[in-house]
Amino acid sequence: MDNFILLAELLKDYNLWGNSAYQYLIAGVVFLISLLVLKLFEKIIAARFSKVVEKTDNQFDDVISEVINSIGGFFYFATSAFIAFQWLETSLYVSRAVNIIFIVIAAREVINGFGRLINFAFEKYLERLEKRNESIDVQQVRTIKKMLRKTIIVILWLIVGTFILANFGINITSLVTGLGIGGIAVGFALQNILGDIFSSVSIFFDKPFKVGDVIQVGEDVGRVKNIGIKSTRLKLVRGEELVIPNKELTSFRIQNYSKANKMRDEVTIGVSYETDEETLKQIPEMIEGIIGNIEGISLDRCNFENYGDSSINFKIIYFADSFDFSLLDKKKEELNYAIFSKFQEKDIDLPFPTRTVFLHQSE
């Protein structure tokens, strides 16, 4: 015991960079003990926790286990060195530098953990959609996930940077104020782009429509081809592609025909004013019979609509079982041919625009 005390006194007499050899010895022992404790945590506690969560049905604890197991040996080494460093006397600048290095290393592990939690949240979201048998745009999901993950990572690193600057004794109040003013200026400059991006996120989570749905925006009707970060693409009935900014899609009313499981269409026909009343009353029944013989469409109603300039008009509203526009056009063509044939059979005239001119001859 006396020899140990004598050795300790001798070590105290040797100084290097403001610390005695005895202090370095204590710091070394603290480093080894800290590293041993952390390694025991990794090998025993973390390993046992992983085995326990494998037996549970809850997937969230699997993610926690994955986050714990992903902590690298370098982090344990850096943590042990940081704890040991507290036993040494150093200058203020060296102490701040060590603190900053440790903050960066620890922040890296925390941010990586948040990234894994984001991945887990999106995987659960995809599973929920699959259980509902909803179609999934995998590319859109990946894009939104990547965007949110990068946004959160940038925000977290900005917070870490703020702590680092504060640790150096820099007054961050004026800096934050300047960044806020700059952020407002950038926000005004990019408000249209940012509006489209946020609208894309809103469409993704709210799901007013999805890829493959037939929607109407204003007077344009088309099938959703792609939902991007800035815009959505529709393939219109006429065949061309329409690109709509996402901000407009969240600002205006949208009719989603796919939610009804059927496509609505209508036809207006006119008959001559010379048609008698009895025949006019039989036209809705004729139309019902005609549509009943055409596969894939069903009649909603047929009504005497109005008196036109040259004809008595009937409106026919029907539903098609398919959202294929080319097939819908073929069904309409088949309906028009059948109506024409039926009217010829019943001697019902289909008028054309006429104008009667009265001439007055002066005496």
What domains does the chain contain, in order, with CATH numbers?
2-188 (no CATH), 206-258 (2.30.30.60), 261-345 (3.30.70.100)
| Residue 40 to residue 52: CA distance in whole angstroms | 17
- The per-residue pLDDT for 266 is 87
- The per-residue pLDDT for 11 is 53
- The per-residue pLDDT for 17 is 63
Phi, psi of 17, rounded to the nearest 5 degrees: 55, 40
- The per-residue pLDDT for 87 is 72
Task: Kindly report the number of other CB atoms within 10 A of residue 348's CB atom.
Answer: 21
- Compute and round to an integer the Cα radius of gyration of the chain: 38
Contact partners, residue 34, CB within 8 Å, separation at least 6: 79, 80, 83, 84
Helix (H) or strand (E) holding 267: strand 263-271
- The per-residue pLDDT for 202 is 76
Residues of the chain with pLDDT under 50: none
Residues 111, 112, 117, 121: is their CA dihedral positive or negative? positive
| Residue 238 to residue 162: CA distance in whole angstroms | 55
- The per-residue pLDDT for 136 is 57
pTM score > 0.85 for this model? Answer: no
